[in-house]
A and B are shown apart, each in its own frame.
Chain A
Amino acid sequence: MTRLAAHSRYPVRLSLNDTPVEAEAEPRMLLSDFLRHRIGATGTHVGCEHGVCGACTVIVDGMLTRSCLTLAAQVDGCEVQTVEGLAPSPDRLGILQQAFRRNHALQCGFCTAGILMSLDHYLRRNPSPREADIRDLLSGHLCRCTGYTPIIKAALEAAAELAATTEEKSDA
């Protein structure tokens, strides 16, 4: 049994986008705040802080996770993936990100980090999604610029492109 006292800080170690990171957190610190304020990874956005808006969605040990409904202490030793890990290099966007750019699937961009994480997670596991599947997935996110239509278009376009890339690889 491990007991962390309310007003003390404890080290939290995790793998963030395949890089080990460590910082201190009080037991009550949310993963969203830990990422932004302790690690400085501000790509993950914080909207409603009660699990409704989806802006803070990240991936913890392969599970889509609202980082505002998760304590930093809970993910000690876990693998966390955030939007910062999507681009293959600092000067290049990933296929999904490029599709978002082409289709104007973001306006203010506040909800985008969370939506990208949900879609990245989903498309890896479901390479040929139907539009209805994408809509169902997006029901877990709020976009107040009401950009859902271009988001769906970008997601389907990215899925098609990812499928083509995979085929080429298998032919090689």
Chain B
Amino acid sequence: MKPAAFDYIRAEAVDEVLEGLSKEGGNARVLAGGQSLMAMLNMRLARPKVLIDIMRLTELSRIEDRAGAVTIGAGVRQATLLAWPELTRTLPLLALALPWVGHVQTRSRGTICGSLAHADPSAELPLLLVALGGEVHLRSTRRRRRVSASEFFVGMMATARAEDELIEAVSFPAHNGGRCAFREVARRHGDFAIVACAAVATPTGVRLTVGGVADVPMARDWPCLDGSALDDALNGFAHELDARDDVHATARYRRDLVRIIGRDLIGEVLQ
């Protein structure tokens, strides 16, 4: 339970991070809050040759509310965003869901972008990014690009980030005052979700996003449904998610949670 040996780089400028990633490629990993990566290193599920620590870069620790989007730098810790005074107004869904991300003791160190980079299928932040249709800002020595949430998560713990790219920031479209709801079932508050769901009102109806079931968070947009039409839609969605049995829950139980929580949340948002 100790990490394999690696070189440690303490970056003092973003260019140093980009150059390091460009030179080392897949041998390098970016270290931010460490709440996912350090556990992977300790268990030797990851064995990078080089760790590049970005937490002394103050330019990555900004939260900006501009042009209808909230942009959160790679160094912003989860606790910092949760304490941001504008959060409830601009991103009410995140205000509801962030207390479910890990524990007080891990949110204090863990970053928003780090959780997205890790892309655990049961983690809340990838689900929230898909639910709100956010974008990941990637940067390398070659280029800068933005990738939409639905294209960023490509599989279990797999993302569209190339090996030489840094997740510089993430942006969530502000949904000022928009109706939304979030609920999660886990064995213990703060543990990874067995099923987590977010519902967000859209101009034409509602979007339901589900985490913890498929390899990536999955979203469906529906018009304003109720009654048996909603039941059928939820049941169809629950089966499409291709739930599997594991030590935490059966596939059937996961589908039940999608049907039940989905119905409750959509009711809350559309009422």
> In the complex the two chains form, is B104's CB within 8 Å of A122's CB?
yes
> Within 8 Å CB of A141, what residues of B?
105
Residue from B2, B3, B109 within 8 A of A65 (CB atoms): B109
Closest to A51 in B: B39
> Within 8 Å CB of B34, what residues of A?
69-71, 74
Closest to A60 in B: B109
Closest to B80 in A: A63
State which size class the interface on A falls in: 20 to 34
* Residue A50 at the chain B interface, CB threshold 8 Å: yes
Residues of A1-22 whose CB lies within 8 A of B = 1-7
> In the complex the two chains form, is B6's CB within 8 Å of A118's CB?
no
> In the complex the two chains form, is A69's CB within 8 Å of B109's CB?
yes
> Within 8 Å CB of A64, what residues of B?
104-105, 108-109
Contact with A along B187-204 (1 / 0, CB 8 A): 011100000000000000
Contact with B along A11-37 (1 / 0, CB 8 A): 000000000000000111010010000
Residue from B13, B35, B105, B189 within 8 A of A118 (CB atoms): B105
> In the complex the two chains form, is A140's CB within 8 Å of B103's CB?
yes
Closest to B103 in A: A140
Q: How far is the CB of B13 from chain A (nearest CB, A)?
A: 7
> In the complex the two chains form, is B16's CB within 8 Å of A28's CB?
no
> Within 8 Å CB of B79, what residues of A?
63
* Residue B82 at the chain A interface, CB threshold 8 Å: no
Residues of B25-43 whose CB lies within 8 A of A = 31, 34-35, 38-39, 41-43
Closest to B37 in A: A69
Contact with B along A131-152 (1 / 0, CB 8 A): 0000011011100000000000
**Cα–Cα distance between A25 and B35 once the two chains are bound (Å):** 21
> In the complex the two chains form, is B10's CB within 8 Å of A1's CB?
yes
Closest to B13 in A: A1
Q: How far is the CB of A128 from chain B (nearest CB, A)?
A: 17
> Within 8 Å CB of A71, what residues of B?
8, 31, 34, 38, 51
> In the complex the two chains form, is A74's CB within 8 Å of B12's CB?
no
* Residue A81 at the chain B interface, CB threshold 8 Å: no
**Cα–Cα distance between A6 and B59 once the two chains are bound (Å):** 28
> In the complex the two chains form, is A70's CB within 8 Å of B9's CB?
no
**Cα–Cα distance between A54 and B103 once the two chains are bound (Å):** 10
> In the complex the two chains form, is B7's CB within 8 Å of A54's CB?
no
> Within 8 Å CB of A2, what residues of B?
9-10, 12
> Within 8 Å CB of A63, what residues of B?
77, 79, 108-109
* Residue A57 at the chain B interface, CB threshold 8 Å: yes
> In the complex the two chains form, is A66's CB within 8 Å of B106's CB?
yes
**Cα–Cα distance between A12 and B12 once the two chains are bound (Å):** 18
**Cα–Cα distance between A71 and B99 once the two chains are bound (Å):** 26
Closest to A10 in B: B8
- 26 chain-A/chain-B pairs, Cβ below 8 angstroms: A1-B16, A3-B8, A4-B10, A5-B7, A6-B5, A7-B5, A27-B8, A27-B51, A28-B5, A33-B2, A50-B43, A51-B106, A63-B77, A63-B108, A65-B105, A69-B34, A69-B35, A69-B39, A69-B106, A70-B38, A71-B38, A73-B8, A139-B103, A139-B189, A140-B190, A141-B105
Which 6 residue pairs across A and B have the least CB separation, nearest first? A140-B103, A27-B8, A69-B38, A49-B1, A6-B5, A140-B105
20 further interface pairs, Cβ-Cβ under 8 Å (given A50-B42, A71-B31): A1-B11, A1-B12, A2-B12, A3-B7, A5-B7, A28-B5, A30-B2, A51-B106, A63-B108, A65-B109, A66-B105, A68-B42, A69-B39, A70-B109, A74-B34, A118-B104, A136-B99, A140-B102, A140-B103, A140-B105
